[in-house]
A and B are shown apart, each in its own frame.
Chain A
């Protein structure tokens, strides 16, 4: 450009119009592009890391089957399903303190007395379901007090084998989540039910409240009030969820229990309402923006036709903002779905699979939060937790994808005409 300034600008010469390489612009453009792709790459990498960590869950299963075949080929030193020496193969990390008390069991012994001890270092369970040592199976549906040599096909398996079998992929679809039981079961169904229950309750509370609040703020409130409402609700978005969880745990739980008189103090209802508190600001803000973005000409057109403010808001503004509102609700769902702290504190954390909203539940995210710090690195339970993480990721991703590509387009067409 500098060289051109001397000449009059209107002269069209090959020199003045030649393509120029602007390095700084080129560099900035490439930088911005790479940042955009980098963030996508980071997200994908995180997902793959999480997913890779969940692979041990699959590996354990494979190992279990090979061992089974090996064991059946060679000699099997321990009897099927009896409570003797076989138990000494137990590794120290069996989570059962009571077991140490039982005489025949020496969890610490690494003695290779039993060949199986060397063979299966990864079995951290393998305790026999004898009456003596299973106080910690919390309310297992299975009656483990039955003597082991009964011909229950499941019970008759070798203890370690049984554990592995229980922890197999099929058991992921079971309704029992007992990851640290002597006989671990990793049924994800109760976790899913819990998560969906809490999410439903939270969204059923949060969505109407925040959409109506946004409608009020955008269509009815006088300007000075609007300037107060919006920041005030948005302030709630910055609230640490642990504080909301604490409030739910200490105050809301008692209050709601007194009000509704249900039995379990901490349950999906309390958790859901607490999470609604967390997701209201998210839904409100985005809905409010969507409603405010509706051009004033729409409202004027409606008012000029003799519609009241109320009719205008409900029949014109709200439908026109549907895509934005839909996105807002989905973001709210995402917030609740991944919410960990409130779930840990207020939902009771019992993996029950009933549909009663006044029952304790355990959500997927809370399960990771509660158990990740205590699992053995690389074992089955560890893998399953990461598997849950990947599932959370996939689920959130697919909600958004469905919203983006399918429902949004269809809804818009339906409301705004084809």
Chain B
């Protein structure tokens, strides 16, 4: 295993009274793709949202334990969430481009980080779109509304938007669940490219997708981390029976 980028220690999360995550301990390696699998409601998305503290937005959430990224506990009081999120990008399940032009969508992140030089912005937009493998499709209509793109294009636009802020970690919450197989294929190819530069954590319901794109897989069930290891091992010879049952489709 490569060096661990993210380490969680006894991470426990409550929604009000209900426990959603029960002392999760996991090490997520750098510049690899880690997939979270598990049935709906098992806490994998919740866990993902803990990693960039998006759960802070929900008032009833209480979190105990630590998440250490590069040796720094991101839940200590001194951490500025805004700067944290610049380093940890997130792509959501439903593509959510802003109601702005394609260009403005990508330029938004750099702009709020203080890049106002139009020349530089254009450069960033182009690189990001190229890295997200969507440049050729949109280069002629950068100033059209992003809402006019197809679902798959919108999702890749959202990935490009995330890349534009130059994060180190990209969290993907079922990025292809609403897309057709061709768009899904493109996203997966993209993930394959991106892992050279970024640490990627992806939540997916699609077993084949997890097997295809990820290097490591973590299986969650009822708020607990059941098993975590190399994808090949999890999918061929899992240690725990539950994992095997889930992967072979006997439940979940």
Contacts and interface: CB of A to CB of B under 8 A. Distances in A.
Nearest to B97: A301
Contacts, number: 90
Interface stretch (A95-103, A378-386, A410-418): A410-418
Contact of A304 (B90, B94, B147): B90
Interface string B84-96: 1111011010101
A415 B101 CA distance: 8
B112 A307 contact: yes
Contacts of A413: 145
B151 interface: no
A311 B98 CA distance: 14
Contact of B92 (A223, A301, A417): A301
Contacts of B108: 302, 305, 307, 315-316
Given A301-B158, A306-B112, A418 B144 contact: yes
Q: How large is the interface on A (under 10, 10 to 19, 20 to 34, 35 or more residues)?
A: 20 to 34
Quick one: which of B90, B94, B102, B112 has the most chain A CB within 10 A?
B112
A301 B146 CA distance: 14
Given A295-B96, A304-B54, A319-B99, A417 B85 contact: no
Contact of A297 (B82, B84, B89, B92): B92
B57 A315 contact: no
A252 interface: no
B59 interface: yes
Interface string A294-314: 010110111111111001000
B140 to A, nearest CB: 13
A222 B103 CA distance: 33
Nearest to A418: B144
B104 A417 contact: yes
Interface residues on B, range: 35 or more
A251 to B, nearest CB: 40
Contact of A303 (B57, B83, B98): B57
Given A222-B59, A418-B145, A302 B86 contact: no
Given A223-B59, A305-B85, A315-B112, A415 B161 contact: no
Interface string A88-124: 0000000000000000000000000000000000000
A297 B154 CA distance: 14
B116 interface: no
B195 to A, nearest CB: 19
B126 to A, nearest CB: 17
Given A222-B59, A302-B108, A303-B57, A416 B85 contact: no
Interface in B224-250: none
Given A306-B109, A418-B143, A418-B144, A301 B96 contact: yes
Given A307-B112, A417-B144, A297 B94 contact: yes
Contacts of A295: 96
B113 interface: yes
A305 B109 contact: yes
Contacts of B13: none
Given A304-B85, A306-B86, A417 B143 contact: yes
A345 interface: no
Listed residue (A297, A306, A413) with the most chain B CB atoms within 10 angstroms of its CB: A306
Nearest to A307: B112
Q: Of residues A222, A223, A307, A319, which shows the largest number of chain B Cβ atoms within 10 Å of its Cβ?
A: A307
A295 B96 CA distance: 9
Main secondary structure of the interface of A (DSSP, over half): helix
B204 interface: no
A304 B100 contact: no
Interface in A133-160: none
A417 B90 contact: no
A249 interface: no
A393 to B, nearest CB: 34
Nearest to B145: A417
A360 B146 CA distance: 51
Interface string B118-157: 0000000000000000000000000111110000000000
A86 interface: no
A303 B85 contact: yes
A311 B147 CA distance: 21
Contact of A305 (B100, B101, B147, B161): B161
A300 B57 contact: yes
A418 B82 contact: no
Interface in A367-418: 413, 415-418
B83 A306 contact: yes
Given A223-B59, A306-B109, A416 B101 contact: yes
B85 A320 contact: no
A319 B104 CA distance: 12
B21 interface: no
A298 B105 CA distance: 11
B52 A304 contact: yes
B165 interface: yes
Contacts of A300: 54, 57, 90, 92, 96
Nearest to B171: A304
Contacts of B54: 300, 303-304
A270 B165 CA distance: 49
Contacts of B85: 303-306
B22 to A, nearest CB: 25
Interface in A270-328: 295, 297-298, 300-308, 311, 315-316, 319-320
Given A308-B82, A315-B111, A320-B98, 20 more contacts: A222-B59, A297-B92, A297-B94, A300-B90, A301-B96, A303-B85, A304-B90, A305-B86, A305-B108, A305-B109, A305-B161, A305-B165, A306-B86, A307-B82, A308-B112, A311-B112, A416-B99, A417-B101, A417-B146, A418-B101
Which 4 pairs from chain A and chain B are nearest by CB?
Answer: A417-B101, A306-B86, A417-B145, A297-B96
15 contacts: A223-B59, A301-B96, A301-B158, A301-B161, A306-B82, A306-B165, A307-B82, A311-B112, A315-B108, A320-B99, A416-B99, A416-B100, A417-B99, A417-B102, A417-B147
Interface of B: 52, 54, 57, 59, 82-87, 89-90, 92, 94, 96-104, 108-109, 111-113, 143-147, 158, 161-162, 165
